[in-house]
Structure 1
Amino acid sequence: MTVEQALQLLKEEGYKFTGKREQMIRIFDREKRYLSAKDILEYMQEDYPGLSYDTIYRNLTLFENMGILEATELGGERIYRFRCSTDEHHHHLICLSCGKARHIKSCPLDAMLGEPAEFTITGHKFEIYGYCTDCKPAK
């Protein structure tokens, strides 16, 4: 997903264009990692001093529902990132320190289950948490 695609999708779905929405989308594009609502608020506080968590959460939920953002939960907190640009089935390695994610091309579910009898899988999510080489803690 690009900034332009995200803004076009909002327009096509009839949502009002606002500077706050555009800035939020641009932050996700620039950061290329998982971010919390708190992270977004901190990035935007200077330009929008009265910005509330409610506004941030409303827009994060909207963006997730529209497929602009992907979400996961880490440490009891919902975190978000720009939707992957590929529609190819994949999973992620997620750094606990910086929030960057890498694709895992193979699906661990295939090795665990194969095709289960009398059940049709319509979706699943598999994430591995750890530290990237830049953030690996010293031993």
Structure 2
Amino acid sequence: MDRCLLELFDNGMRVTEQRKRLLTLLATSKHPQAAMELYGKMKRTFPGLSYETIYLNLRLFLDLRLIESMLVGSDVRYRALLAEQAPHYQFICMDCKQAIRVTFDPADSAFPMPERFQSVHYKLDIFGYCKDCCGRESSSAMQ
């Protein structure tokens, strides 16, 4: 989190309470967040906040590579990129949006790697349905 704030400062951006709160929400969330979800959570603390402010700050954070975005169903969702996280991939439930993180290093696997290539960073998300959501679909189909 401190790295993110320092990155804002180093790029001439003001470190406001709204930006701190938005980064905290993204860093502590168990699943990727939609802009409207973030807006709803932020509006409680900052009543005069506009949706445009959330969206513009998300764009700024993306440009500074503090967060990443992904398409889940028809929603664009955001999550923090924390430098201290171990390399991982995620299984993301398309129903409840839960992200199940699994530590992974391509060098330690049977993952096909081209010759003369050293992996430095990677991003791999696998989309499907978690056990709980699959169970709900099965039980509702039986009724």
Identity %: 28
Aligned to 1:120: none
Q: Which has the higher helix share?
A: 2
Contact (CA 8 Å) 1:33, 1:100: kept in 2 or not?
A: yes
CA contact (8 A) 1:32 1:82 kept: no
Task: Describe the superposition over 1:66-108 as per-residue Cα deviations: whole angstroms up to 9, x where unpaired.
Answer: 11111101122210011143474x532112314324136266x
Aligned residue for 1:61, secondary structure, equals helix
SS in 2 for 1:58: helix
* CA deviation after TM superposition for structure 1 residue 61, in Å: 1.1
What SS does structure 2 have at the residue aligned with 1:129?
A: strand
Distance, in Å, in 2 between the alignment partners of 1:45 and 1:95 is 26
Q: How many pairs does the alignment contain?
A: 133
Aligned to 1:119: none
Amino acid at match of 1:82: A
Query: How far did 1:9 drift?
Result: 1.1
Equivalent runs, 1:9-48 vs 2, <5 Å: 9-48=7-46
Q: Which structure 2 residue ranges, 5 or more long, are not aligned?
A: 116-120, 139-143
Pairing 1:66-85 to 2, within 5 Å after superposition? 66-84=64-82, 85=84
Classify the secondary structure of the residue corresponding to 1:15. coil
Task: Using structure 1 for the length normalisation, give the TM-score.
Answer: 0.74
User: Under a length normalisation based on structure 2, what TM-score does the superposition of the two structures give?
Assistant: 0.73
Looking at structure 1, the residues matched to 29 and 19 of structure 2 have their Cα atoms a distance apart, in angstroms, of: 16
**For residues 11-37 of structure 1, what are the alpha-carbon distances to aligned partners after superposition, in whole Å with 9 as ceiling and x for unaligned?**
111111111101101111222320010
After TM superposition, list the pairs within 5 Å mapping 1:1-139 onto structure 2: 3-84=1-82, 85-86=84-85, 88=87, 90-96=88-94, 97-103=96-102, 105=104, 115=114, 126-133=124-131, 136-138=134-136, 139=138
CA RMSD of aligned residues (A): 3.0
